[in-house]
Structure 1
Amino acid sequence: MQAWLSKFIHRKRRRVCASLVRTYREISSASPDELWQKVVDLADVSWHPMLKSTNVPYGLVPKPGLIFQAVTRLSPIPIRIFVERVNPRELLTIRVLAIPGVEERVTYQLESTVCGTCLSYSVTLRGWLSPLIWSFSRPYSDRVARALVDAVEKAGLPAGS
């Protein structure tokens, strides 16, 4: 009986963790350089559906180890964001340190394809509060990749269009 219960709990835990990893992909007609500039411009988050503002000075290039604060559209309480990994023009990984009990890792990855530039936005939530946090943040996470691509493509349009 105890072995069965242990297997059941382990399966449940694995299922919950698997449901809290999402990857969204968008294809853009913008160049990889234009998309990369928008991703690494941590001072301008006007396109982001969840973030309202950051305390990053304009023009600061993100490097691993950088910690900054951001204010979300959901709450006036600032959250801390830690830059984990940066591969120029390819990958940016950040960790969001909002509340104890939840670890959120966000990865932006760019690939140049025949159809255009592919943007991958991955969200991984871990911790015992992650199902609750995911229920609030999922509608916003679903829109991040599309909002980023739209912001870059609108900025690249000529004034007469």
Structure 2
Amino acid sequence: MILNFSFKLLTEGGKLLCKCSLYKTYRVASSVPVDMVWGKLINLADMSWHPLFSQTNLPKGLIPKPGLIFSVVTRLTPFPIRAFVESVRPRELLSIRLLAIPGIEQRITYQIESTLCGSYIAYSITLRGWLSPFIWWLIKPYSIKVANELVNAAAKCH
């Protein structure tokens, strides 16, 4: 687990500005093959395994590509949040940016590596904006579980 938090107070033109950012990574080693984990991860229509997301508006079988915009409903709020697929490297990386509310920018990155005994999954969260400490306080209990839940869901399909 890696945590990097920065908080800067700046003055510009007589105004006080606040810049906050948080970067957190969780890592899990698994005996589940990379193909199984990747298959579960890219099925964005089925987020039943995700501790924070409950559903999306994507059809089953759609493969995520950079530029794909979709809606996600979280377990914390009843209204949908827009999500944008930033980057995809098959069997290696999926990066998604959440476009929830002004004052916060959130990027989620999943990295998967193949090992001799299975796979290695890294789940990273980057929060930027003056609301990042509050948002982190809300999502931290869920974020801790994401990588483990992904591995468990892929193992059930195995």
* TM-score (normalizing by structure 2): 0.87
Greater per-residue strand proportion: 2
Greater per-residue helix proportion: 1
Give 1 or 2 for the bigger CA radius of gyration: 1
Equivalence map 1:128-147=2 (5 Å):
128-147=130-149
Calculate percent identity across the aligned residue pairs.
Answer: 58
Q: CA deviation at 1:151?
A: 0.8
Counterpart-to-counterpart distance in 1, 2:9 and 2:70: 37
Over 4 Å off, 4+ runs? none
Q: Is 2:128 the partner of 1:107? A: no
Q: CA deviation at 1:114?
A: 2.6
| Secondary structure of 1:124 counterpart | strand
Counterpart-to-counterpart distance in 1, 2:26 and 2:152: 14
Find the partner of 2:23 among 21, 24, 39: 21
* Aligned match of 2:74: 72
Q: State whether residues 36 and 157 of structure 2, in contact with CA within 8 Å, keep that contact through their aligned partners in structure 1.
A: no
Q: CA deviation at 1:54?
A: 0.4
Q: State whether residues 27 and 115 of structure 1, in contact with CA within 8 Å, keep that contact through their aligned partners in structure 2.
A: no
Counterpart-to-counterpart distance in 1, 2:9 and 2:38: 42
Find the partner of 1:81 among 80, 83, 87: 83
Q: State whether residues 106 and 121 of structure 1, in contact with CA within 8 Å, keep that contact through their aligned partners in structure 2.
A: yes
Counterpart-to-counterpart distance in 1, 2:148 and 2:40: 13
Counterpart-to-counterpart distance in 2, 1:147 and 1:88: 20
* TM-score (normalizing by structure 1): 0.85
Counterpart-to-counterpart distance in 2, 1:84 and 1:72: 20
Cα deviations across residues 114-154 of structure 1 (Å, max 9, x unaligned)? 34200010000000111101000011001000000011112
| Secondary structure of 2:70 counterpart | strand
